[in-house]
Copies of this chain bind each other. A is one copy, B any other.
């Protein structure tokens, strides 16, 4: 039977893990691919020798056996691969969301090859254009590795929830921020201290901004919303809050309520509108997400007919994400292009609504002074904007501040802004700072 030839462009963390599995499990993969031998014809990377050593790969698989090659040489190798009629599929694992990468994706499909990538940034930035182009070219795009690493969420949404209507999705989808928040929760560390440790241990990159400002989580959520609700990623503007403003005191308050704080990616359909956000949220001890730590990702999914689901697995890692990339390669090697597989679960178009209007329960934390009348003033103001208070817990004292925790029933964030404005009008000044964090149950 015919060999199924592939090229890998970019042999870093994910590309290296992918190549390693393709080499090591070749015999099993052949059987799974209906007897087709999946063969790496070429790995293109700027550092062939170093990456061959790092991932235990034969140097013969690489575009060159030199120590390193120039960007110009790499481009020439890519052009050669695109022209090679023997290559059936190209894996892009360079990463980044530049126009250059998007153009590479198009060139791969234009040259009549299938595309597999784990690059969430470029898929989120360029929306559905690459999926549409693939359909036109009758080629497949595999991107299982782009969302939550090894958790098979993409195929599950595409092919398994087709007999159902997904109401909501909520979960922990970024390992770096999760590591930092776990550390702050467990050890009472401040944000800066926890970040430094994460960098030291390799959980955070030197420039961790994409992870800690929520962009990485938002990219994954955009891809999911596109699949589930059919809203192209480019048309999605939702609120993204990172974890940089989560304080030691927030954790002290959360802990006093038998809860912790996690960065949550959230989307929920209500009445034709989809409310979405990425932001730190209060998670109670009873919730499975409470105990999810480090690189583990966990997604809760609620569907109209089948009810609640939970998917947990490794959200990052070279070999873990590599296994998801390889599953795409095997699927395409076996089935070829089987019609528009990218969009099976997201046909009915919805529109995105402002999360600040979504009725969520909130934990309002008010930094105040131990003055008589504070609770009365806060309670009155919240009542005046028509919001019910569930619980006023004991204040937490930290440094020079008193932090008053107020749990409120479902309301729009905008109502809380109004309540705080009312309290701020009072003399003497009662509020020094405040924040509210959604409580996801």
Interface of A toward B, CB cutoff 8 Å: 17, 21, 25, 27-29, 31-32, 34, 144, 149-152, 155-156, 159-165, 288, 303, 305-314, 317, 319-320, 322-331, 334-335, 338-340, 344-345, 347-348
- A144-B44 Cα distance, complex, nearest whole Å: 40
**Given that A152-B156, A152-B161, A347-B31 are contacting pairs, would A307 and B326 also be in contact in the complex, using a CB cutoff of 8 Å?**
no
Q: Is A305 within 8 A of B320, CB to CB?
A: yes
Complexed CA–CA distance, A306 and B118 (Å): 15
Contact B331 A303 (CB under 8 A): no
Contact indicator A306/B331 (Cβ below 8 Å): no
A150 CA to B303 CA, complexed, in Å: 10
A34 engages B339 (CB within 8 Å): yes
Complex CA–CA separation, A328 to B320 (angstroms): 28
Q: Indicate if the CB atoms of B163 and A330 lie closer than 8 Å.
A: yes
15 contacts between A and B (CB under 8 A): A31-B348, A32-B162, A32-B347, A150-B303, A152-B160, A155-B159, A163-B322, A163-B330, A305-B319, A306-B323, A306-B324, A308-B314, A309-B313, A310-B311, A335-B339
Which residues from B are CB-within-8-Å of A303? 150, 323
Q: Is the CB of B324 within 8 A of A313?
A: no
* Complexed CA–CA distance, A18 and B344 (Å): 19
Q: Which residues of B contact A317 (CB under 8 A)?
A: 307
**Considering the chains assembled together, what is the distance between the CA atoms of A314 and B325 in angstroms?**
29
- Measured in the bound complex, the distance between the Cα atoms of B305 and A21 in whole Å is 8
The answer to whether B150 and A326 have CB atoms under 8 Å apart is: no
Task: Establish whether residues B144 and A326, one from each chain, have CB atoms under 8 Å apart when the complex forms.
Answer: no
Contacts of A164 in B (CB 8 A): 21, 150, 323, 326-327
Most buried by B among A17, A28, A159, A312: A159
- Are B340 and A338 neighbours in the complex by a CB distance under 8 Å? no
A325 to chain B, nearest CB (A): 7
Query: How many of these chains are in the complex?
Result: 2
Nearest CB on B from A312, distance (A): 4
Question: Which interface residue of A162, A165, A338, A348 has the most chain B CB atoms within 10 A?
Answer: A162
A344 touches B330 (CB 8 A): yes
CB proximity of A262 to chain B, nearest CB, Å: 17
A174 to B163 Cα, complex, angstroms: 22
Q: Residue A32 contacts which of B21, B25, B305, B344 (CB distance < 8 angstroms)?
A: B344
User: Are B347 and A339 closer than 8 Å at their CB atoms?
Assistant: no
Q: Lowest 10 A-B CB distances belong to which pairs?
A: A163-B326, A31-B347, A152-B160, A150-B306, A163-B327, A310-B312, A305-B323, A162-B330, A306-B323, A164-B323
Contact B28 A165 (CB under 8 A): yes
A160: contacting residue among B21, B309, B327, B334, CB under 8 A:
B327
Distance of A323 Cα from B156 Cα, bound (Å)? 13
Residue ID in chain B nearest A298 by CB atoms: B310
Q: How far, in angstroms, from A288 to B426 measured CA to CA in the complex?
A: 49
Closest to A152 in B: B160
Nearest Cβ in chain B — how far from A228, in angstroms? 12
Chain B nearest CB from A38 CB (Å) reads 10
B28 contacts A331, CB within 8 Å? no
Highest count of chain B CB atoms <10 Å: which of A155, A164, A317: A164
Q: A155-B159, A327-B162, A334-B344 are in contact. Are A312 and B309 (CB under 8 A)?
A: yes
A288 to B289, CA, bound (A): 11
A25-B165 in contact given A307-B320, A313-B310, A340-B34 (Cβ < 8 Å): yes
A338 to B29, CA, bound (A): 18
Interface centre among A150, A160, A163, A310 (most CB of B within 10 A): A163
A335-B334 contact in complex given A160-B155, A326-B164, C-beta closer than 8 Å: no
| Shortest distance from the beta carbon of A326 to any chain B beta carbon, whole Å | 3
- Cα A322 to Cα B299 with chains together (Å): 23
Query: A163's contact among B34, B323, B345, by CB below 8 Å, is which?
Result: B323
- What residue in chain B is nearest A339 (Cβ atoms)? B34
Q: Return the chain B residue nearest A230 by Cβ.
A: B31
Q: A32 to chain B: which residues have CB within 8 Å?
A: 162, 344-345, 347
